[in-house]
Amino acid sequence: MRRRPGIAGLQTAAATRDQFRLVGENVAKVRTDVMKEQLATFRSQLEEFARKHKSDIRKNPIFRQQFHEMCAKVGVDPLASNKGVWAELLGIGDFYYELGVQIVDICIATRSHNGGLIDLLDLRKLLAQKRKATVESLSEDDCLRAISKLKVLGSGFEVISVGRRKLVRSVPTELNKDHSGILGLAQAEGYVTVEQVEKEFSWSTGRAVDALETLLKEGLAMIDDGHRDGKRRYWFPCVTINSDTIGGEAK
């Protein structure tokens, strides 16, 4: 459109813009309407599915996970609100809410022992005990979802990967790479010595001791001077806690 100078020109430009805007809004409206309809259809189909398979979803953790993934693909979050269709249909909201509360309880109860870091598998075992259920009925995915809900509450809960394990952190302590490295190393026997750390990462004694002392101060490590070889060992409760014997086989 050619611009014509002068007031008339300006008025034309404004009118043209208005027209474009109207057309644009219309197009948008049509698109939205179509989408709304599609979503409505899909939602009712999803609800129908959920109704049919309610009992499977509740009982079977693998099925549950697949259901979640299906919902996620279309942007539906069955846990978004405790009220509403999903919560009523499935009672899933309650399931995760309850799980979240139990996870918080366990983390708080074990914090003075492990400093606020707990291996996800140990958490699951303790949860199973608490709920008088089997470990298998409570999948890793279930726990991760419950924890991600906790995260939203800003409660400082986080899942971190260290070595080949997943740890649940319930305190604001930040672990840097040196610390994570040591935790990973400790997964072998539940403890490390300064020597082992130096050797494994090619660090100076100073660097190794610094990292270990920080972990000690944070309550994540405990010292052990009782071995007959006289070498101080740093044990990590978050790495070896077992619901029955704590470090039973380790020496």
Partner 1 sequence: MQRLGDFRLPPFFNYPPYFTLQPVRETREKQVQLWKDLILEYCRSQKIHTISLEEDFPLFSNPKIERSLSHEAKEVFLAALVSEGRAEWMDKGHKRCLILWLRIQDWANLIINFVKDNGLEVMTIEEIRSGIDTRGTELEGIERSVLMRALRQLEQKGKAAIFKGTSADDEGVKFSV
Q: Which residues bind partner 1 (CB under 8 A)?
A: 112-113, 191, 216-217, 219, 222-228, 233, 235, 237, 240, 242, 244-248, 250-251
| Sign of the torsion formed by the C-alpha atoms of 60, 61, 62 and 68 | positive
CA dist 96 and 147 (Å) reads 9
In terms of CB distance, is 12 or 242 closer to partner 1?
Answer: 242
133 three-state secondary structure: coil
Return the number of the residue (90 or 241) whose C-beta is nearest partner 1.
241
Alpha-carbon gap, residue 193 to 8, rounded angstroms = 85
Of 75 and 248, which has the nearer Cβ to partner 1? 248
Burial class (CB within 10 angstroms; exposed 0-12, middle 13-18, buried 19+) of 164 = exposed
Residue 115 C-beta: closest distance to partner 1, Å: 8
The CB-of-109 to partner 1 minimum distance in angstroms stands at 12
Least spacing, CB of residue 113 vs partner 1, in Å: 7
Cβ contact 115:183 at 8 Å: no
Quick one: 40 or 246, whose CB is closer to partner 1?
A: 246
**Residue 219 beta carbon to partner 1: minimum distance, rounded to whole angstroms:** 6
Return the sign of the alpha-carbon dihedral for residues 32, 35, 41, 46: negative
User: Is the CB of residue 146 less than 8 Å from the CB of residue 170?
Assistant: no
Q: Which is nearer to partner 1, 144 or 194 (CB)?
A: 194
User: Other C-beta atoms within 10 Å of 57: how many?
Assistant: 23
- Quote the least distance from Cβ 220 to partner 1, whole Å: 10
In the complex with partner 1, the residue whose CB is nearer, 96 or 235, is 235
- Kindly state the smallest distance separating residue 239's Cβ from partner 1, in Å: 12
Alpha carbons within 13 A on the beta-carbon side of 208: 17
